Structure 1
């Protein structure tokens, strides 16, 4: 287990990296110049098959509530062929098992902690009571367990669960504590979207490895801001066999560090975005490039019917200008009669700025003197309440990335409990693919982003923070108390 000093050093990874020239950043990302990295195992692109995380079944059901048991434990997993990697996993796998929930059907999960240190589970994007949010003070000690209640009173969407122990969140998730949580509903059912084996989750993460296959944390002294290996569903740059038809891919950027992706298809064709963090869009949006920051989700439709059998299409990415090949699709079988792409999805009720009685301003930046990441000049204090929104109220927040040109650090602003809509970026409307419901938004250096939200359902204590997890560990987090 790393010392707090080392975790904070990892947390300031972006600051250390951003201080370096772009050329050195690119070099460090592509070929990290350390003895450990030079001895790292050779990883062949597309050598392994994509593995889809298993769907967990409830242990029992009582009065319409499904009950699950999950054990967090240390395990060995073959990520790189012929090598064993020590992971921390939900039920001992990385990523953890997928939970499939139904709107308005509650779930209770008992999380057992068999790890060597405390853990806290956060359902990212979940509209849940404060007591089940995984906040500071709700840690599970080794050998203990905790029950989490998830009411699922929200529309169909792709959520995920991960560790949320302050000062150790980046490390714990890097060790493997991530999993998907999918909610379905009748409105989604009616659309005839690809389902079953044609509805495929893709958990995109970055890792570095030692020669023995163990995880290696990026080294901020050398400007390593992310791992050099793309890991998809726990496999390094795998391949996936597809038929000549449309597929629905649920994309999650589950990176623990600063891996801001820009996704493209190697064929140059477009993808259709049908959903983001908080649920489906009103209409599909065609994109040739799709930004996806850590914690963001995007649901896309890719049509493979246009490619001959035998075709190979690569899902590529660019991370701060450095190319990565994430996944190869191999078209191996013909298919006819696959569903059409709906022209309309689900209506989205736009929140009106005129209804917002409260406007708040938040500045995110590195405090160089203290070596801490701060919000409005303050580092996180779990005993301090920073704001008190009122239940039922609508608020507009302006998020300003106050980093200076000598340290151009991006931030990804995330709100617990409440999802939001983006009003504008520096006065300009958001891109069509981010016009729906969100819970995380990238804010680039010097940029101002305005978001609007309505506080409903749950009073109590919740968090907002940067979801570049090292930044949160280093203090870029704050507490809101939603008052009745």
Structure 2
């Protein structure tokens, strides 16, 4: 199935660029539509709040093979904007949630307890995970006394592991390389608003290969969850849901039809924070945790020597060799593991991490101030990892094509002109076989595959782009056609792939594949 939005427009088949609305959304009361367009966050002084770092979770017990954790999903209040209280939904009541630090080859079991007023499903993004623990969208964990018959039947259709009440255990074998992963909500139809309310956290896997490198560590290894949010004048989060209870009709008001873009940039849950640094190298595990916003990151001023960012890792872990970037584009759900060398700045310099895709307030992310001199024993070696064993495209037994297109089927977002059906299988790769997938979009969509990591083979018929290196699980389709190659396994079962613009995902830009 090969088509583009331009071709479909000529045929009269599209519902309009960027429209991803359920039928009837345009009939919402005018007052609500105006409300959505006029909401503006309270003014915040930039670069005044210190950068917070999410706490690292401690296991409740361990044995020879496994670390066991307990996490409660609950509503809390937090002071995100100085002087205001904001209601969040958080893992252990935190936004971001506590960081899980795991060891490659050592299992983690997390008992998730749901004390929220809605169902949830937890996905370990980038995890090579058995299907029953992958957070399939209809594998819902309900609050203890919730009547699951009160929600639409398609929310529990086609489940992989059924649904639970109160608690559920998720098992992560961690049979994969060291990498920066993250866990977040993945509930059918409501992933966007529930992640927006705070249900996201880091999950970092470590291994001996990475440990043997002299990369910046300790207080100089910092995770950065970058996202955007809009707040009401009283400091509460604003999200343009059709049903703010998140129990009825899913979807968003027309103002967010192509994704919801907040007017306040948060890093680790703080608005435009500041970090004091020494004149040494720092390692930043960057995650775009926004619902829809793409960032094009740059340092201002530019360093006196060398590149702004030295990329050492991608979604699936370390690169073979470092890559230098003056700018860094990062789409929703992508991770970039980078080094910034502050020895290229004089003491007292304020270095702003900026966003070339932003304007006004959203053109700034955070600020670093070089406040002191320190010795630096860290090193970026020319070889970071043994050769990455990518699948050979010549071994591919199947080539599949998927077009990501918003605004089809009465307003739904689609893949290959079909909206998501939890009971329909759209691809059935055989266990341990190699396939090439051609991913096409018009306009822009970050595409994410569960279970597998892949290598980008080409972009628009040419070589991969500058941000496509290494093992990927999410790739940005900016109106592009991209070929990727993956080996499907090591588990049989049903998984999803989807657009990680969460408003598009909730409006059905998702499909199933089943490893058979």
Report matched runs for 1:39-118 at 5 Å.
40-118=41-119
The equivalent residue for 2:150 is none
Matched, 1:453 2:462: no
1:153-179 C-alpha deviation (Å, 9 max, x unpaired): 000100000000011000100000000
- Cα separation, 1, equivalents of 2:17 and 2:205: 33
Task: Give, in whole Å, the separation in 1 of the partners of 2:206 and 2:342.
Answer: 25
CA contact (8 A) 2:17 2:407 kept: no
The answer (yes or no) to whether the contact 2:214–2:377 under 8 Å persists in 1 is no
Matched residue, 1:293: 331
**Are the aligned partners of 1:15 and 1:366 in contact in 2 as well (CA < 8 Å)?**
yes
Q: For 1:107-160, what per-residue CA distance to the aligned partner results, in whole angstroms no more than 9, with x for missing partners?
A: 000000000000000000000100001113311001311000000000010000
Match 2:389 to one of 338, 346, 349: 349
Of 144, 164, 171 in structure 2, the residue corresponding to residue 149 of structure 1 is: 171
For residues 428 and 220 of structure 1, what CA distance do their matches in structure 2 show? Answer: 38
Which residue of the other structure, out of 479, 484, 498, is the alignment partner of 1:465?
Answer: 498
Partner residue of 2:368 out of 322, 326, 329? 329
Alpha-carbon separation, structure 1, partners of 2:192 and 2:348: 40
* 1:242 paired residue number: 277
Cα deviation code 1:420-477 (max 9, x no counterpart): 00000011111344220000011122x2100000012111111100010111110110
Give the aligned partner of residue 434 of structure 1.
Answer: 468
Taking the aligned partners of 1:230 and 1:80, their CA distance within structure 2 comes to: 11
Q: 1:49: how far off?
A: 0.5
- Partner in structure 1 of residue 140 of structure 2: 139
User: How big is the shift at 1:320?
Assistant: 6.3
Q: Give 1:259 deviation, angstroms.
A: 0.2
Structure 2 residue aligned with 1:482: 515
Q: CA deviation at 1:89?
A: 0.1
1:324-374 per-residue CA deviation (whole Å, 9 max, x = no partner) reads 111100111111133121111112123211111110010111244510101
The residue correspondences of 1:65-464 to structure 2 (distance < 5 A) are: 65-143=66-144, 144-217=166-239, 221-222=254-255, 225-256=260-291, 258-269=292-303, 270-319=308-357, 324-346=363-385, 347-368=387-408, 370-401=410-441, 403=442, 409-445=443-479, 447-464=480-497
Q: Relative to structure 1, is the Cα distance of residues 368 and 361 closer, same or farther in structure 2, using a 3 angstrom cutoff?
A: closer
CA 361–16 in structure 1, closer or farther in 2 if over 3 Å, else same: closer
Structure 2: how far apart are the matches of 1:248 and 1:136?
A: 33
Counterpart-to-counterpart distance in 1, 2:255 and 2:92: 35
Which stretch of the first structure deviates more once superposed, 169-178 or 318-327? 318-327
- Matched with 1:15 is 18
Report if the CA contact (8 A) 1:122-1:162 is conserved: yes
Are the counterparts in 2 of residues 273 and 433 from structure 1 also a CA contact under 8 Å? no
Could you say which residue in structure 2 is the equivalent of 1:20? none
Does the Cα contact within 8 Å between 1:13 and 1:220 map onto a contact in 2?
no
The residue aligned with 1:27 is: none
Q: Is contact 1:123–1:160 with CA below 8 Å preserved after alignment? A: yes
2:39 to 36, 40, 63: 36
Equivalent pair of 2:19/2:406 in contact (CA under 8 Å): no
Partner Cα distance (2:298, 2:343) in 1: 18
Offset at 1:184? 0.5
Identify unmatched segments of 5+ residues in structure 2: 1-14, 21-34, 145-165, 241-251
* Alpha-carbon shift at residue 318 of structure 1 (Å): 2.4
Note the aligned Cα RMSD (angstroms): 1.9
Partner of 2:246 in structure 1?
Answer: none
C-alpha distance 288-220 of structure 1, shift in aligned 2 (>3 A): farther
CA offsets, 1:243-297, max 9 Å, x none?
11000000000012x2011111112232101111011111111101111000000
Q: Distance in 2 between matches of 1:399 and 1:222?
A: 27
Deviation at 1:298, TM superposition (A): 0.2
Q: Give 1:215 shift.
A: 0.6
In structure 2, the residue matched to 1:29 is none
Distance 1:400 1:13 in 2: 18
- The answer on whether the counterparts of 1:16 and 1:220 sit within 8 Å (CA) in structure 2 is no
- Pairwise CA distance, 1:42: 1.1
* Unpaired stretches in structure 1, ≥5 consecutive residues: 1-11, 18-31, 404-408
